[in-house]
Amino acid sequence: MKPPSPEEPRRGFLIASINGLMGLITAALALPSAGYLLGGSKAKRPADWVPAGDLAKLEQNVPEQIVFERVRRDGWKTVKEKASAWMVKTSEKEVVAFSPVCTHLGCAVSWDGSAKTFACPCHTSSFGTDGKVLAGPAPRALDRFAVKMDGTTILLGEIRQADKA
Amino acid sequence: MLNKVRAWVEDRTGLESGIGHFLNEDIPASSGWHQVFGSMALFMFLVQVFTGIMMALNYAPTTAEAHSSLRYILTELTAGRLMRGLHHWGASMMICIVVLHMVQVFLWGAYKKPREATWMLGVVLLLLTLGFGLTGYLLPWDNRAYWGTVVTTQIAAKAPGMGPYILTLLGSEDGQIGSVTFARFYAAHVLILPAVTALLIFLHVYLVRRHGVAPAPVETAPPIKFYPRQVFKDTVAIFAMFALLFVLAVAVRVPLGKLADPNDVSYIPRPEWYFLFLFQVLKYFEGPLEIVGSMILPGIAVVLLFLTPFIDRGKAIALRQRTGAIGVLVLSLIGWGALTAAALSTTPHRDPWKGFTAEEMAAIGTFRQAECWKCHSSSPGDSRPGPNLADIAVLRDRDWLVKHFKDASAEAGKSVKDLQWRRLATFLPKLDDENVESLHQTPQTLVAGAVVYQQNNCGACHQINGAGMKSGPGLNGVAKRWDRKWMEEHFIDPESKSPGTIMPAYKFSPADMTAMLDYMMSLTD
């Protein structure tokens, strides 16, 4: 900036005011906008327990993909949609339900019966029947649904992240 | 390093010298506070663009989802209400600023040769600004939006010879407002109008630069630079306006009404305040003359405004020599003000509780009995610690509410029956911006009457606002059939008034009887 000239002794004050006021306006718009875009929805609804298959019909340690219907909040909509889980029956009373989403970049994993692994078709990550990473770039084991039993009916809740592999 | 980057950018783009050239423009020494409105209008446009984009990031522009997505913005997102508030009040403020800008230019005679084209572009920009208001009005897709646009399109439909074509262009071939009209208005609002407006603003500013800021009749001092003295004044004015806008957006809640309902005959359509004068003009021209009010007069006004520089060709720009022009301005402002005031004063008021069932009225009683209003606000500008109850349907479900009532009332030492809580939990989610004020506006005597009505299970035989059985006579409009005294005697001894009736006698306490009768007399058709 030019040095203050004698005709405009308040030049420095004027410029500082212009920058200050414009800065305030910018902040008054930018801060709420950050909250608006990054804050997410204030209405938190925990996922309902949804029935997803019958434990009695599963074979022990043979993963099976179970498709079930769930209700999900999609922005301003509540949608009823199909979802799936890879079920691994671990005992007569217990089952582990893996999310079919690869923990690397979200491709759908499927069971490779001959290799006995969950294989990701995108970047060749593979997971064992316990969900742990066997190979590939996946950063952690497969995510699991919370599981609850109602008789022999399997109820699935929220998806939880497994610990890092 | 920074200097090197700066030098590189300057060398390759001329950015810095360009900005310097723009800011160091010579302006007349007489320039001052009266010339801040142009910058303010430009700034308002930028605020509208910014908040508009913000809303578009969470808005689904179809009739199926517009309302629910806007509701999502308002109730579920941080600062969502602020964004809409800024956009809504910003629209009104922009109209005010644009009009002030024109008034200033008019008073100072700044439209005169050689600045005629600048003025005409300005008039087009005014029309575009109104176009934004008209098209944006439909986008919330609530009753207000729907019915307001029905009236607008019907006016357009009456254009002689062109009506059907205009209707088709507005996506309303069959005279109905629906998905196509909505898409057209949305596209106009976010694509066509912004692009055209931005281009014309550019040309408008270019012309201002080409001809220079209009000087005073006699300039005594040599020109000064635009920056920083005038920019400072512009900035202070912009800041004051923005501060007012921000306060409005935070403090005054912009309502989102019920989802657009073409069958809702009880809705009273009213346009935005800046169109009210046109709305009022339509009342004075009936039948074949209607077109005079809807098109001919507004058309003449726009043409006159557009051609102002050619109508007033006098060289005089000093205010004292231009009494005629000033007279025209004052008369237009008075006419506009009077029409707007007339429209406002004739807007009928509808009490939000008129449509409630007795059970819903009794729920208001529970709300008051438990003193829920101590924490919860139910009117705009009222900021109590608890959430505003117009949003409750989205945020909470019924079971949660019942539990919350029990916890909160146990803490406050209030005892309320479970049944009452359940009714309140059913009632609260039905509240929205249009009827939430009923929580504190409904006269207590009517609420008390409804409580008595519920306690005596009157709904087992009678119906109010569609709720209850029909073995006895419906009670809406009962005041038209019988007077208060008749009804009181009928409660005490029904047989004496209607022989053979199956209605039992009721011995209310005097207070209950008064409330009951007040309630009965208030029931409209």
**Tokens 């084209």 label which residue?**
B117
**Which of B23, B77, B82 to mutate: most A Cβ within 10 Å?**
B77
Q: Half-sphere exposure of residue A31, counting CA atoms within 13 Å on the CB side?
A: 5
- Tell me how far apart the alpha carbons of residues B177 and B134 are, in angstroms, rounded to a whole number: 14
Residue A110 CA to residue B85 CA, distance in Å, equals 49
Residues of A in Cβ contact (< 8 Å) with B239: 21, 24-25
Residue of A nearest to B392 (CA): A43
Query: CA B289, CA A45: separation in Å to the nearest integer?
Result: 58
Query: What number is the ipTM of this complex?
Result: 0.86
The pair of three-digit structure tokens given for residue B279, joined into one six-digit string = 């709305």
Instruction: State the nearest Cα–Cα gap between B395 and chain A, in angstroms.
Output: 5
Say which amino acid occupies B401: L
Residues in B closer than 8 angstroms to A33, CB to CB, are 54, 79, 83
Nearest CB to B65; choose among A15, A42, A76: A76
A34 & A54 share domain: no
Q: DSSP for B196-259? A: HHHHHHHHHHHHHHHH-SPPPSS--SPPEEIIIIIHHHHHHHHHHHHHHHHHHHHHSPPP--SB
Report if residue A120 sits inside a domain. yes
Closest by Cβ to A32, choosing from B57, B82, B394 = B82
Are residues B121 and B203 in contact, defined by beta-carbon separation less than 8 angstroms?
A: yes
A57 and A130 together in one domain: yes
Query: Using one digit for the tens of pLDDT, what is the confidence trace for A30-87?
Result: 999 999 999 988 877 777 899 999 999 999 989 999 999 998 889 999 899 999 999 9
Cβ neighbours for B86, distance < 8 A, ≥ 6 positions apart: B47, B51, B245, B246, B249
Is A77 in contact with B80 (Cβ distance < 8 A)? no
* Structural contact between residues B29 and B220, judged by C-beta atoms closer than 8 angstroms: yes
Residue spans of chain B under pLDDT 70: 378-383, 393-394
| CA count, 13 A, side-chain hemisphere, B194 | 16
Domains of chain B with bracketed CATH? 24-269 (1.20.810.10), 352-522 (1.10.760)
Distance, in Å, from the CA atom of B45 to the CA atom of B132, rounded to the nearest integer, reads: 11
Q: Which residues of A touch B50 (CB under 8 A)?
A: 29
Tell whether A22 and A98 lie within a shared domain: no
Neighbour tally for A156: CB within 10 Å: 26
B287: left (phi over 0), alpha (psi -120 to 50) or beta: left
Residues A92 and A20 in one domain: no
Of A8, A21, A32, the CB nearest to B236: A21
Which residues of chain B make contact with A42, given a CB cutoff of 8 A? 75-78, 395
Q: Which of B445, B442, B439 is nearest to B384 (CA)?
A: B439
If you search the block for the tokens 């646009």, which residue do you land on? B149
Q: Does any CB of chain B come closer than 8 Å to the CB of residue A9? A: no
Q: Is residue A60 part of a domain?
A: yes
Do residues A34 and A109 share a domain? no
Q: Report the phi/psi class of residue B387: left, alpha or beta, with left for phi > 0 and alpha for psi in -120 to 50.
A: beta
CB of B47 within 8 Å of a chain A CB? The answer is yes
Q: Do B76 and A18 touch (CB under 8 A)?
A: no
Residues 6+ apart with CB under 8 A from B266: B350, B355
Residue A80 is part of a domain; what is its CATH number?
A: 2.102.10.10
Give B242's contacts in chain A (Cβ within 8 Å). 25, 28
Given an 8 Å threshold on Cβ–Cβ distance, is B238 in contact with A18? no
Cβ contact, residue pair B75, A18, below 8 Å: no
Dist CA B81 CA B253 (whole Å): 8
pLDDT higher than threshold 90 for residue A119: yes
Tell me: do A12 and A74 sit in the same domain: no
Question: Does any CB of chain B come closer than 8 Å to the CB of residue A77?
Answer: yes
pLDDT of amino acid A163: 63
Tell me if A84 is assigned to some domain. Answer: yes
Measured between beta carbons, the chain B residues lying within 8 angstroms of A21 are: 235-236, 238-239
- Are A55 and A115 contained in the same domain? yes
- A12 and A61 both lie in a single domain: no
Q: Which residues does chain A have within 8 Å of residue B395's beta carbon, measured at their own beta carbons?
A: 42-43
Q: Which of A8, A24, A76 sits opposite B68 (nearest CB)?
A: A76
Looking at the complex, does the CB of residue B77 fall below 8 Å from at least one CB of chain A?
Answer: yes
Render pLDDT for B25-70 as a digit per residue (tens, 0 to 9). Answer: 999 998 999 999 999 999 999 999 999 999 999 999 999 999 999 9
B110: nearest Cα among B300, B319, B304 = B319
Sign, CA dihedral B197-B203-B204-B206, equals positive
Chain A contact for B395, CB < 8 A?
A: yes
Q: Do both A58 and A118 map to the same domain?
A: yes
Contacts of B47 in chain A (CB under 8 A): 29
Residue A165, pLDDT score: 39
Whose structure tokens read 């109010």?
Answer: B464
From start to end of B367-516, where are the E strands? 463-464, 467-468
Report the b/e string of B39-54 with b at 16+ CB within 10 A.
bbbbbbbebbebbbeb
Q: B461: helix, coil or strand?
A: coil
Q: With contact defined as beta carbons under 8 Å apart, do B124 and B317 qualify?
A: no
- Coil, helix or strand for B474? coil
State the Cα–Cα distance between residues B54 and B83, nearest whole angstrom. 7
- A9: closest chain B residue by CA: B229
CA atoms of A162 and A143, how far apart (whole Å): 5
pLDDT score recorded for residue B394: 66
For residue A19, the enclosing domain spans: 1-40
Q: Compute the distance between CA of residue B427 and CA of residue B357 in angstroms, rounded to an integer.
A: 10
Probe site for chain A from B19, B141, B235, B236 (most A CB atoms < 10 A)? B235
| Residues of A in Cβ contact (< 8 Å) with B80 | 36
For residue A71, give both structure tokens: 């209700």
Is A33 near chain B, with CB under 8 Å? yes
Question: Between chains, do A25 and B82 touch, taking CB under 8 Å as contact?
Answer: no
Q: Which residue is listed with tokens 């409904």?
A: B442
Size of interface A-B (CB pairs under 8 A): 74
Q: Examine the domain organization and report whether A33 and A54 are in the same domain.
A: no
Domain for residue A82, yes or no?
A: yes
In a domain, A165, yes or no: no
- B52, closest residue in chain A (CA to CA): A33
Task: Write down the pLDDT at residue A4.
Answer: 47
Facing residue for A43 by CB, picked from B54, B68, B394? B394
Coil, strand or helix at B262:
coil
* A75, A118: one domain: yes
Looking at the fold, whether A141 and A121 belong to one and the same domain comes out as yes
Listed residue (B231, B43, B31, B35) closest to A15, CA to CA: B231
A45 domain-assigned = no
In a domain, A156, yes or no: yes
Nearest CA in chain A to B57: A37
Buried b or exposed e, range B247-264, using 16+ CB within 10 angstroms: ebbbeebbbbbbbbeeee
Give kind and range of the element (H or E) at residue A68: strand A64-74
CB of B52 less than 8 A from some CB of A: no
Nearest CA-CA partner of B175 in B193, B201, B150? B150
**Contact yes or no for B60 and A76 at CB 8 A:** yes
Q: Domains in chain A: how many in total?
A: 2
pLDDT of residue B436: 83
